[in-house]
């Protein structure tokens, strides 16, 4: 009886964290678009997913442990991250737009999508941490976890599980779409869409601080 109660007391916050995480993370944004393109080109996608998953996990745990202190003492982070994120997204939007505009640019070999595994991993980290929306989601997860008191760790584990599941869906789902992207026009449409998403996100970030 006690074992069943203990198990249910852990499963409930874990399931709540899983549901919250899926609601927050399962969206098409800068990070998702980057992973999708890497997955379609089979360019270091495993390393990219690992970096994104690790960054999500570390930030979720940190938020659960110290969200009150962070929100009270580091209010300057939001505008600073907005500027840094906007510049980062704008540069990537220009690169994607150039690929979409050039007939041969979208069909560059997979190895040229990111010059090296290190570059791909660094870009993945940038798309994760240079995104104020990501930090808002992380702070929200940390605050909601406090409602579960001693089982806040189980809630955080559920949110981390949601992050990993979404990343795996993006990376694995990209392979299923490879037949569609044998057509050069599909690559140009994808890059055009990525450029538009990145540009809109950059504008939204700037609108928050101007």
Residues 45 and 113 sit within 8 Å (Cβ to Cβ)? no
Residue with tokens 């919250």: 20
Phi-psi region of 193 (alpha: psi -120 to 50; beta: other; left: phi over 0): alpha
- Please report, in tens digits, the pLDDT of each residue of the chain (210 residues total): 455 545 566 788 888 888 878 777 766 677 887 888 788 777 788 889 999 999 999 989 988 887 656 556 666 665 666 677 677 778 878 877 887 787 654 444 433 455 578 888 888 888 888 877 787 778 778 777 877 777 888 889 999 999 999 898 888 777 777 776 667 777 777 778 777 877 876 787 677 666
How many C-beta atoms surround the C-beta of residue 185 within 10 A?
A: 10
pTM of the model as a whole? 0.68
CA distance 187 to 198: 16
Residues 28 and 144 sit within 8 Å (Cβ to Cβ)? no
What would the two tokens of residue 194 be?
């990525």
């Amino acid at each position: 009886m006690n074992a069943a109660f203990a198990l249910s007391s852990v499963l409930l916050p874990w399931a709540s964290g899983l549901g919250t995480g899926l609601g927050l993370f399962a969206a098409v944004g800068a990070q998702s678009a980057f992973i999708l393109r890497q997955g379609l080109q089979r360019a270091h996608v495993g390393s990219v997913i690992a970096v994104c998953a690790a960054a999500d996990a570390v930030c979720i745990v940190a938020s659960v442990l110290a969200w009150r202190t962070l929100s009270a003492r580091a209010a300057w982070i939001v505008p600073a991250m907005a500027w840094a994120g906007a510049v980062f997204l704008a540069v990537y939007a220009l690169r994607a737009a150039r690929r979409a505009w050039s007939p041969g640019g979208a069909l560059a070999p997979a190895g040229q999508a990111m010059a090296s595994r290190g570059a791909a991993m660094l870009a993945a980290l940038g798309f994760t941490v240079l995104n104020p929306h990501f930090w808002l989601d992380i702070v929200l997860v940390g605050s909601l976890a406090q409602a579960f008191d001693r089982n806040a760790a189980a809630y955080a584990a559920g949110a981390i599980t949601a992050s990993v599941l979404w990343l795996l869906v993006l990376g694995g789902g990209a392979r299923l779409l490879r037949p569609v992207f044998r057509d050069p026009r599909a690559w140009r449409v994808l890059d055009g869409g990525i450029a538009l998403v990145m540009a809109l996100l950059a504008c939204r970030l700037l609108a928050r601080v101007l």
